[in-house]
Amino acid sequence: MSGPQQKVFPVSWDQFHRDARALTWRLAGHGPWSAIVAITRGGLVPAAIVARELDIRLIETVCVASYHDYSSQGELKVMKGVSDELIAKTGAGGKGILIVDDLVDTGKTARVVREMLPEAHFATVYAKPQGRPLVDTFITEVSQDTWIYFPWDMGLTFQPPLHDGGA
């Protein structure tokens, strides 16, 4: 999230699953899809739900890191792009590919992935105003100054990942 945290939006596993299925319902009429590209790591869970519901078997990842300390966006790092094999199967523009992520925030990650697959359909579960114009389909808009706590980040309270000293 850019700027100081002012609001929080905790999302339970049940709520996230409902929202990801709602995203699938919206996407059902837009296909057919030849593949899903999940933006890691946040896009992995909704991509799995969408893939199951729409019976999409070909799933690729784009690995982009922009949140490095769970509180602010840092330098964007593309750690893995789209595979040459997927491009060969679908074409360089990505027509028929569904890009899935959990959230579009400032749009930095979305811009990078859009450059890789300009003709793909971009879908996120949640969208903030700065990034919203970059996605084609989303379920819930939250204010720019809201920090979303996803279920994989939560216990009864925020749980830091093991590599950060979490128990």
Per-residue pLDDT tens digits for 47-94: 999 999 999 999 999 999 876 555 556 688 899 999 989 988 888 899
| Domain membership of residue 68 as a residue range | 7-154
Beta bridge partners of 35: 97
Residue 13 maps to a domain = yes
CATH classification at residue 17? 3.40.50.2020
Residue 165 maps to a domain = no
Q: Structural domain tally of the chain? A: 1
Beta-carbon-side half-sphere exposure of residue 107 (alpha carbons within 13 Å):
13
Task: Express each pLDDT in 128-163 by its tens digit.
Answer: 999 999 999 999 999 999 999 999 988 766 767 877
Residue 160 maps to a domain = no
For 43, counting Cβ atoms within 10 Å of its Cβ (0-12 exposed, 13-18 middle, 19+ buried), the class is buried
Which conformational region is residue 65 in: left (phi greater than 0), alpha (psi within -120 to 50 degrees), or beta? beta
Catalytic positions, written as ranges = 101-102, 105
Residue 36 maps to a domain = yes
Q: Which amino acid is at 76?
A: L
Residue 100 maps to a domain = yes
Residue 163 maps to a domain = no
Residue 1 maps to a domain = no
Residue 159 maps to a domain = no
